[in-house]
Structure 1
Amino acid sequence: MYGFRDPSVLSECGLDENTQEVLLNNIKRKLTSQAVKIRADIEVACYGYEGIDAVKAALKAGLACSTEDLPIKINLIAPPLYVMTTATPEKADGIQALQEAIEKIEKTITDMGGVFQIQMAPKVVTATDEAELARQMEKAEAENAEVAADDDDDEETAEGDADVEVPSEEEGGAED
């Protein structure tokens, strides 16, 4: 670690210039703190007149807390569940930023007559947590696709019934 602060220490090792440079670059890369990903799960809904507009306004208020150093992202898992994430080398700063965004979202949605609940408070997530989130999102997409397919089937059946009824009405009209 000392060689990282004072590169002249490596000159005592008898290494050539190129090797010293490669070694210093490797040391710097290893000692640079890695960004941690921080996540929070929230439920945001509004069943009043404002509805989805209130939810959008609340989420935008939370996104307004995002900065270049601490970018905040909000993704839908399945209504009314949203996941908030940020990545930063400083764990405490990231947790604080998400907490502030959560407070803004809560204030905005409750002021508009909506409901808010924290499902998971801001915490550092691991690769395992990320894999679980990806699985949840895929599951939600699959469920939405099934619902959409069910709706299409109902529409086709209804259209089929309408087609059957129309000729029978015309036949009835022709007999009169």
Structure 2
Amino acid sequence: MRNAEAAGTDDCPVKIKLVAPPLYVLTMQTLDKEQGIATLNKAITACTETIEQHKGKLTVEEAPRAVSEGEDKQLAEHMARLRLDNEEFSGDEDSEEEEEEEYTGLGDADVDAVTEITE
């Protein structure tokens, strides 16, 4: 993710937001639509290369695109709902016995990363 942020420039800074593991959103604000989309594509490439070097996988859910202020607000609301859905509530906890069995090793760790890209 740091490599994706590093792909940004002073005119087009790339920001990464965690929606709910493993879903991330890359965003930026710029007046030059083409430069912004090119910078986001460069950030995606940098992030993909780094993740694949560590035997991971990045899936782009949506290609970079320009959005209006209304769409940006809808995205923020959607991200807030996903965060709330991801929070633990009372009763979510496992018993100590189950935790011991469940966390004795890495087992079948899922290393897939899903990313949604927007501007």
Cα distance in 1 for partners of 2:35, 2:56 equals 28
Q: CA deviation at 1:149?
A: 2.8
- 1:107 corresponds to which letter in structure 2? E
Aligned 1:23-62 pairs, distance under 5 A = 59-62=1-4
Report 1:154-169 matches (<5 A): none
How much is the aligned-residue C-alpha RMSD, in angstroms?
1.7
Please give the per-residue CA displacement for 1:47-97, whole angstroms capped at 9, x wherever unaligned: xxxxxxxxxxxx111111122111110001111111111111111000000
**Which secondary structure state, in structure 2, belongs to the residue aligned with residue 124 of structure 1?**
coil
Which ranges of 4 or more aligned residues in structure 1 deviate by more than 3 Å? Answer: none
Give the distance between the partners of 1:131 and 1:69, measured in 2 at CA: 22
Provide structure 1 residue ranges, at least 5 long, that are not aligned to the other structure: 1-58, 159-176
Question: One-letter code of the match for 2:79?
Answer: M
Identity %, equivalent residues: 34
Structure 1 residue 100 corresponds to structure 2 residue 42: yes
| SS of residue in 1 equivalent to 2:9 | coil
Higher Cα Rg, which structure:
1
Partner in structure 1 of residue 33 of structure 2: 91
2:90 maps to 149
Q: How many residues align?
A: 96
Q: Which secondary structure state, in structure 2, belongs to the residue aligned with residue 77 of structure 1?
A: strand
Name 1:138's counterpart in structure 2.
Answer: 80
Whole-angstrom distance in 1 between the partners of 2:14 and 2:83: 23
The structural deviation recorded for 1:128 is: 2.5
CA distance in 1, matches of 2:29, 2:23: 20
TM-score (norm 1): 0.50
Higher helix share: 1
* Long gaps (5+) in structure 2: 97-119
In structure 2, what is the Cα distance between the partners aligned to 1:69 and 1:140?
Answer: 30
For 1:97 and 1:149, how far apart are their aligned partners in 2? 42
Task: Select which of 37, 61, 66 maps to 1:124.
Answer: 66
Distance 2:15 2:28 in 1: 6
